[in-house]
Amino acid sequence: MLWHIRPDSLRAIWEDIMKAERRPHAASNVSLALRAWNIRRKALLMGEVQGQGYIGQALGIADVLAASYFHALEYRPEDPEWEGRDRFLLSIGHYAIALYAVLMEAGILPEEELETYGMDDSRMPMSGMASYTPGMEITGGSLGHGLGIAVGMALGMKRKRSPAFVYNLMSDGELGEGSTWEAVMSAVQWKLDNLICLVDFNDQQADGKSTAALAQGREEDKWAAFGWHAQRIDGNDLVAVVAAFDAAREAPEGQPRVIIFDTRMCKGVDFLESREITHFVRVEPDEWSKALTVLEEGKPQ
């Protein structure tokens, strides 16, 4: 593929990127387990503010987000639109509560704004939108959009000869959207080895189990059959999650990469975990503080 030669104006940016210390966040003394715990705690605090929220998903995906922002991704907290950053697209707008938590943990959003979550004039609306929030790359929520946009961004970054990756976090429900599969095929056509798709497989969509709807069969085999480098792992096993991110980044040249994470809704708060799990977990007003207490007891050392 003959890519367009990058404009000279970009040369300085790439030199800057290549000189920079690679992923300084990964070198922190704070363990990923503690990062994940902090993400869960912040998400619960935000849920308490509104008395509602997609807390089941946030607790389930916290480990993947911790590994994303404190192991895999390149970014500068003080400059969320830094050209050299790895792009992280949240296709699933309703997971915004989880992304706000990790953006605060990463220092991209100020923690003081936590209690504005979902309020009028907040920078953290209930569903994620690019125009509201630093670090929110796209407006998600209309499901099946993220991966197609990621394909376009990955094409654009190839044109610029950017060394960065595009990550797209999507849900198992989005495996039912035809547009997802258009993008799956396109990523192979254009050999987008700078694209890493993350699928949160918690087997819950609005009306029930994803595996009772369109997520039939072995999802990782489907992606592999299309030509993707595909992994499927326990998304709440941090060691496995980290290894999967490493394997994805180092996958064979020319191949787009997907990691399907089997996650447990409400992970980390046992009385919610054992509740009959649904897409929108109902939490009673007095249960938010109870959940925070339970989480506190499980704080990693």
Partner 1 sequence: MTLASMNRKYEPRKVPEKKVATSAMIASLAAEGYDTVSAPFGHALVEAAKKDDKIVGLSADLAKYTDLHIFANAMPDRFYQMGMAEQLLMSAAAGLAREGFNPFATTYAVFASRRAYDFIAMAIAEENLPVKICCALPGLTTGYGPSHQATEDLAIFRGLPNMTIIDPCDADDITGMIPQLAAHDGPVYTRLPRGKVPSVLTRHKPDYKFQLGKAQTIREGKDVLVVSTGFMTMRALDAAVALETDNIDVGVLHVPTIKPLDTATILEEARKGGRLVVTAENHTVVGGLGEAVARTLLIEGVTPSFRMIGLPDAFLEAGALPTLHEMYGLTVDRIAAQIKGWL
Binding site for partner 1 (CB under 8 A): 2-4, 7, 130-131, 137-139, 141-142, 144-145, 147-157, 159-160, 178-179, 182-183, 185-186, 189-190
Instruction: Tell me how far apart the alpha carbons of residues 32 and 53 are, in angstroms, rounded to a whole number.
Output: 24
Closest CA to 151 of 189, 207, 94: 189
Q: In terms of CB distance, is 186 or 263 closer to partner 1?
A: 186
Q: In terms of CB distance, is 50 or 226 closer to partner 1?
A: 226
Q: How far is the CB of 258 from partner 1 (least distance, A)?
A: 17
| DSSP 3-state of 87 | strand
Q: How far is the CB of 178 from partner 1 (least distance, A)?
A: 7
Identify residue 270 by its one-letter amino acid code.
D
Q: In terms of CB distance, is 87 or 267 closer to partner 1?
A: 87
Q: How far is the CB of 139 from partner 1 (least distance, A)?
A: 6
- β-bridge pairing 257-262 and 166-171: unpaired
43 forms beta bridges with: none
DSSP count for the chain of H helices, then E strands = 10, 5
- β-bridge pairing 195-201 and 229-234: unpaired
Q: How far is the CB of 156 from partner 1 (least distance, A)?
A: 3
Q: How far is the CB of 65 from partner 1 (least distance, A)?
A: 22
Q: In terms of CB distance, is 81 or 115 closer to partner 1?
A: 81
Query: 10 Å Cβ neighbour count for 226?
Result: 15
Q: In terms of CB distance, is 137 or 203 closer to partner 1?
A: 137
Q: How far is the CB of 146 from partner 1 (least distance, A)?
A: 8
Q: In terms of CB distance, is 3 or 271 closer to partner 1?
A: 3
Q: How far is the CB of 61 from partner 1 (least distance, A)?
A: 22
**Is 184 within 8 Å of 172 (Cβ atoms)?**
no
Q: In terms of CB distance, is 150 or 251 closer to partner 1?
A: 150
Please give the full DSSP string across 31-77, using - where no structure is assigned.
Answer: -HHHHHHHHHHHHHHHHHHHT---HHHHHHHHHHHHHIIIII----T
Residue 232: HSE in the Cβ half-sphere, 13 Å Cα cutoff: 11
